[in-house]
Amino acid sequence: MTVAVVGGSGFIGTRLITLLRQAGHTVSNLDLQPSATHPDVTTIGDVRDPDAVRTALTGASAVVLLAAAHRDDVRPVSEYESVNVGGARVVAEVAAQTGVDRVVFTSTVSVYGLDKDRPSETSPPDPFNEYGRTKLVAESVLEEWVGQPGRDTGRTLFVVRPCVVFGETNRGNVYTLAHQLATGRFLFVGDGRNHKAMAYVGNVAAFLATGLTAAPGHHLVNYADTPDLSTTELVELMKSDLGRHQRTLPPIPKWLGLAAGHGFDALAWLVRRPLPISAVRIRKFCAETTVDTTRLHQTGFAPPFTLTDALHQTLAAEFPDGHVPA
């Protein structure tokens, strides 16, 4: 199959393109950034540029849309709407023009909001930030492209809502937590009883690839690797792997952590650059972020890696022998 990946130079995209090429697919990549791993199939371009997207999709059998504004500190805030919604609209329009009838799209569990009771794909959305809101709107844009339920258009939309994704080379929340533990700079906020849904990049890429063979129609699936770990369990697992067995400072209450986070937000505004501590990161750390994965299990997908093996593998790669890289 000829697959056009849009936004494939990043963390998930690099792993996915590697997997697709190993499986024998012909792959192209359109991204604002060059690809360190797949420069031979990468073209520099913007998902909001119809001409660039048209060139990428011409001759393709399927498109995987990964491009997104996703960091907590994107500025201006309008970039979320411009990239996430505008990009989805361009891909939908160009797919219709070029005859591409299969779209695989990475959304996010952020559409549900925080501290929900294991929301399923049918739970009412309640995004708490612009990233989640605009990803939800992007889903609706692509739903219009695939057609109304019960109407056979021959098109396929495969939407995956992953939770926090981690893995080797990623510098997201899981790495940040591990780095704080490895350097002795970790301060526990909250009671640690909240559970965190997590997903290993190798498993997410493998599941996205199954969208290339999904039946026509609209598919929507939460993705998380089980079992869900409590924050305390996650911290203790990481401390063990990193060889950091000493006791950490006593936890501080959530309200105090949030107050400190707002203080760092004010400082970040003054110095005009993001800081590693913020109110939204404290809020995420203390939040219950699990989702219902019944529909995922019903697909019959068998993840290549267990969650604990993936965590061990990631920590061993990023912190060999527990050492913090220079």
Tens digit of each residue's pLDDT (9 = 90 or more) over 103-136: 999 999 999 998 888 999 999 999 989 999 999 9
Amino acid identity, position 317: A
Which pTM was predicted? 0.92
3-state secondary structure of 106: strand
pLDDT at 242 over 50: yes
Q: Can you tell me the mean pLDDT for 216-241?
A: 94
Looking at per-residue pLDDT, the higher value among 260 and 137 belongs to: 137
Distances (CA, A) of 235 to 192, 227, 285: 9, 15, 11
Name 44's bridge partners: 31
DSSP 252: B
Backbone angles phi, psi at 219, to 5 degrees: -115, 135
- Model confidence at 35, in pLDDT bands (50, 70, 90)? very high
Tens digit of each residue's pLDDT (9 = 90 or more) over 155-201: 999 999 999 999 999 988 899 889 989 988 888 998 999 999 999 99
Tens digit of each residue's pLDDT (9 = 90 or more) over 67-106: 998 876 677 878 889 999 999 999 999 999 999 999 999 9
3-state secondary structure of 217: strand
What is the structure's pLDDT at 77? 79
What is the structure's pLDDT at 219? 97
Active site residues: 131
Alpha-carbon torsion (122, 69, 7, 19), positive or negative: negative
What is the structure's pLDDT at 33? 96
- Model confidence at 148, in pLDDT bands (50, 70, 90)? low
pLDDT at 149 over 90: no
What is the structure's pLDDT at 150? 47
What is the structure's pLDDT at 235? 93
Q: Can you tell me the mean pLDDT for 207-234?
A: 96
Distances (CA, A) of 256 to 187, 189, 225, 282: 12, 8, 31, 10
- Model confidence at 248, in pLDDT bands (50, 70, 90)? low
